[in-house]
Structure 1
Amino acid sequence: MINAIIDLFSNYTFQIVALGSIALGILTGVTGTFAVLRKQSLLGDSIAHSALAGITVSFIMTGTKNTEILLLGALIAGLLATLIINSISNNTRINFESAMALVMSVFFGVGFILLTHIQKMPDSQQAGLERFLFGQAATILQRDVYFVIGVTLVVVVLMILLWKEIKVFSFDPIYAHSIGLSTQFLNIVLSGFIVAAIIMGIQMVGVVLMSALIIAPAVAARQWTRSLTGMTILAAVFGAISGLGGTIVSSLINKFPTGPAVVVIASSIVIVSLLFAPGRGIINKGLRQHGAKQAFEADMAIINLLTHQLLDIDAQFTKEQLQEACIIDHHREGKSFDRLFNNLKKRHMVERVDDSMYFKLTRVAKLEYEQNRGDQL
């Protein structure tokens, strides 16, 4: 397996596809960050599906499968869809999400109807347009890769130059407008970034799965950091890993398309992040909640002991007395109480008096009890 992967990196076709996928992953990572933060994840889906109409119209008008011409049609359709979405949400009572769903449905429906019509045409020139549905990375050329890299560099440079303005606008557009920033211009810029990323990725990933590549790296990065800069960089890294990993998988497995492989890798990164991220990960949250529950139960055990069994905080007690105090309030018996008692010892809240059968509260338990009693007062 390792030798096969090493041999891949010396293959020219693999190098071209991998480089293009990495550049696309970086582009979708940095642009998707702001789509996720602005709660416009569906915008990528709307633009990607709308692009199909532009591709089919371009073919009908020109009769050629030249990639540049078809992608130009996709670009125009994507920009038009974005303009219509913003116009509907700004000038009607239809909210942004509903406008996106409406425009996406109409454009994709038109595109699919035209694609079906094209496939029934007798001219053999029409064959192969369906590759834009799910992508076909093997068809990209060296010039296509250079173009994707160029667009990625332009987007990254513009984002760096407008970083402060974009950051303020993304988190608080009302405040951005109040300090004199052109929110309409910034909205066009961010939407343009997403359109550019989607148009660059249609040939490799396809209109159906392209939105996943916009969203997945940013969602994964969001789980690991609270910094916008860190999230943007991490999303770009996750996007690049997805691109490279998907290319490797599709090259090792015969007839496995690159686009879906890239999306599967990106989705796997999201799942791992959702589970294991130290800040927001499900497992980490579960462990914290379990620890908080154990701490609460330990505190309640000490309070019940002092309330029902002991009159003096410095008095000694047996394990049975502690169990009786817990049974009064929590009905803890058997293994349930043993777990609680072990937790108290683990938290250094009780300790045995010499080698006797008696225990006493530690300084930690006394401080905890005094603090809880003060909070109640």
Structure 2
Amino acid sequence: MELSLTARNVLLGATMLGALGGMLGSFALLRRQSLLGDALAHAALPGVCLAFLLTGSKSPLPLFVGALAAGLAGSLLIFATVRWSRIKEDSAIGIVLSVFFGFGIVLLTYIQKLPTGNQSGLDKYLFGQAATLVKEDLQVMAILGTVVVAAVALFYKELKVLSFDPGFGASLGLPMKRLEILLTLLLVVVVVVGLQTVGVVLIVATLITPAAAARQWTDRLGAMVLLSAGIGAVAGVIGSLASATVPRLPTGPVIVVVSSGVLIVSLLFAPRRGLLWALLRERRVAGRIRRENLLKDLYRAGERQGSFAAFVSWPQLMGTRGQTSRELSQSARPLERSGLLEREGDALRLTRAGLAEAESIVRKHRLWELYLTRRLELPSDHVHRDAEAMEHALTDEAVKRLEELLGFPATDPHGRPIPARRSAA
């Protein structure tokens, strides 16, 4: 597909913006300053308007300088408000955002009423119009982008400390306040770079959405920064190509939609944090708990009957926990396949391996009850529910530690025997 000069400009500008926004957005996300980028974008609007009023020119450099100055002024006002008043940071961000944006709208309305106001094109800074990017815009974006990338590469370790543990950084003698100002300055630069492409309203999405998507896939900051930059760049490429292919399709919103789609996929399917995998893990854990409870119920029934060789009827097991026949069958089938229990008609009993497994579960339950009554001095009738949960979470190492701590006890607080260790073989 042959791209026009305008389409190539849009492609380059959107790709640079996506990569820079994703990179800086990672640090903003980790520092829980997602709204800061939004406030800086809104604060930049009056700077653009004032630069036009002072110079009467639409050339990119004066407008970039004006937006940069206004963004810095907004960020300094946020810092000053938080430091010298009792207003919290989120409230200060909201105040600066609304005041600066309101002032920018007033100036924009005034400019529109000037004889040359309709030709200024400043209204495009609200929602962005990537098609207006020209060679001079790209040159300024490239210079500022190079500065941002160089600063991040140079101060990466310091920014890492700032993102995760600024208190530790201060104890090492690192200038954390200066680093915070540096990061804010870099955010201002990226915001200014993206105003013409996606606009004041959507710029925060290019910062936070790729970073939030990348965060679902990794726990390493370096990988997160690179992945976030990649997601932002790909969204920029797809958005610009889509707008070049489909008439009257705006580039900025498409970029945001693409990155949001990546975020949705990440939220659902990321291996460790994805909602789908979390749901599957929960189902597996719930199934394991039901199976362990069935083994424990069969053990207790054997205790009451005085023999673990006898079969326990299906209705009796259903009544123990109020299970339906279908739920009980779902728990019994995998245990039967694993050789932990035997089924004869509508009755079940433990195998030798199943008895060893059931004893292990019951031992955890009764040891934890004894620990709560001896160490925490809880009444014996208040420990069962907690032990019901802990019996499925205690590791073998924790059980050994409990036995040593309690002096290898023989009975629980209710006088019931604590099963001894037994090999499944």
Relative to the length of structure 2, the TM-score reads: 0.80
1:232 and 1:262, CA in 2 relative to 1: closer, same or farther beyond 3 A? same
Per the TM alignment, residue 170 of structure 1 is displaced from its structure 2 partner at its CA by 1.5
Residue 131 of structure 2 corresponds to residue 141 of structure 1: no
Per the TM alignment, residue 104 of structure 1 is displaced from its structure 2 partner at its CA by 0.5
Q: Which amino acid aligns with 1:349?
A: L
Per the TM alignment, residue 292 of structure 1 is displaced from its structure 2 partner at its CA by 0.6
Per the TM alignment, residue 220 of structure 1 is displaced from its structure 2 partner at its CA by 0.6
Structure 1 residue runs of 4 or more that deviate by more than 6 Å after TM superposition: 311-314
Given that residues 295 and 350 in structure 2 are in contact (C-alpha distance below 8 angstroms), is that contact kept between their aligned partners in structure 1? no
Matches within 5 A, 1:174-253: 174-253=167-246
Aligned to 2:340: 349
Residue 296 of structure 2 corresponds to residue 303 of structure 1: yes
Residue 11 of structure 2 corresponds to residue 21 of structure 1: no
User: Greater relative contact order (Cα 8 A, min sep 6): structure 1 or 2?
Assistant: 1
Q: Which amino acid aligns with 2:357?
A: L
Per the TM alignment, residue 14 of structure 1 is displaced from its structure 2 partner at its CA by 2.5
| Higher alpha-carbon Rg | 2
> For residues 230 and 86 of structure 2, what CA distance do their matches in structure 1 show?
39
Per the TM alignment, residue 309 of structure 1 is displaced from its structure 2 partner at its CA by 4.2
Residue 97 of structure 2 corresponds to residue 104 of structure 1: yes
2:325 to 324, 331, 334: 334
> For residues 215 and 209 of structure 2, what CA distance do their matches in structure 1 show?
10
Per the TM alignment, residue 192 of structure 1 is displaced from its structure 2 partner at its CA by 1.0
> For residues 335 and 200 of structure 2, what CA distance do their matches in structure 1 show?
57
Matches within 5 A, 1:267-278: 267-278=260-271
1:11 and 1:361, CA in 2 relative to 1: closer, same or farther beyond 3 A? farther
Per the TM alignment, residue 49 of structure 1 is displaced from its structure 2 partner at its CA by 0.6
185-194 or 324-333: bigger deviation: 324-333
> For residues 325 and 107 of structure 1, what CA distance do their matches in structure 2 show?
71
> For residues 324 and 334 of structure 1, what CA distance do their matches in structure 2 show?
8
> For residues 309 and 225 of structure 2, what CA distance do their matches in structure 1 show?
58
Given that residues 314 and 348 in structure 2 are in contact (C-alpha distance below 8 angstroms), is that contact kept between their aligned partners in structure 1? no
1:75 to 56, 63, 68: 68
Given that residues 128 and 200 in structure 2 are in contact (C-alpha distance below 8 angstroms), is that contact kept between their aligned partners in structure 1? yes
How many residues are matched?
367
1:348 and 1:268, CA in 2 relative to 1: closer, same or farther beyond 3 A? farther
Matches within 5 A, 1:159-170: 159-170=152-163
121-130 or 65-74: bigger deviation: 121-130
> For residues 57 and 221 of structure 1, what CA distance do their matches in structure 2 show?
37
1:367 to 354, 357, 362: 357
Given that residues 299 and 359 in structure 2 are in contact (C-alpha distance below 8 angstroms), is that contact kept between their aligned partners in structure 1? no
Residue 283 of structure 2 corresponds to residue 323 of structure 1: no
Q: Which amino acid aligns with 1:209?
A: L
Given that residues 132 and 206 in structure 1 are in contact (C-alpha distance below 8 angstroms), is that contact kept between their aligned partners in structure 2? yes
> For residues 258 and 64 of structure 1, what CA distance do their matches in structure 2 show?
25
Relative to the length of structure 1, the TM-score reads: 0.90
Residue 23 of structure 2 corresponds to residue 30 of structure 1: yes
> For residues 298 and 202 of structure 1, what CA distance do their matches in structure 2 show?
57
> For residues 71 and 109 of structure 2, what CA distance do their matches in structure 1 show?
20
In structure 2, list runs of 5 or more residues that go unmatched.
368-425
1:367 and 1:334, CA in 2 relative to 1: closer, same or farther beyond 3 A? closer
1:102 and 1:311, CA in 2 relative to 1: closer, same or farther beyond 3 A? same
Aligned to 1:3: none
2:48 to 52, 55, 60: 55
Q: Identity over aligned residues, as a percent?
A: 37
Q: Which amino acid aligns with 1:287?
A: L
1:300 and 1:174, CA in 2 relative to 1: closer, same or farther beyond 3 A? same
Given that residues 351 and 362 in structure 1 are in contact (C-alpha distance below 8 angstroms), is that contact kept between their aligned partners in structure 2? no
> For residues 274 and 35 of structure 2, what CA distance do their matches in structure 1 show?
24
Per the TM alignment, residue 371 of structure 1 is displaced from its structure 2 partner at its CA by 4.3
In structure 1, list runs of 5 or more residues that go unmatched.
1-6
Q: Which amino acid aligns with 2:340?
A: M
2:38 to 45, 53, 56: 45
Given that residues 313 and 366 in structure 1 are in contact (C-alpha distance below 8 angstroms), is that contact kept between their aligned partners in structure 2? no
Question: What is the Cα-based RMSD across aligned positions, in Å?
Answer: 2.4
Aligned to 2:396: none
> For residues 96 and 203 of structure 2, what CA distance do their matches in structure 1 show?
17
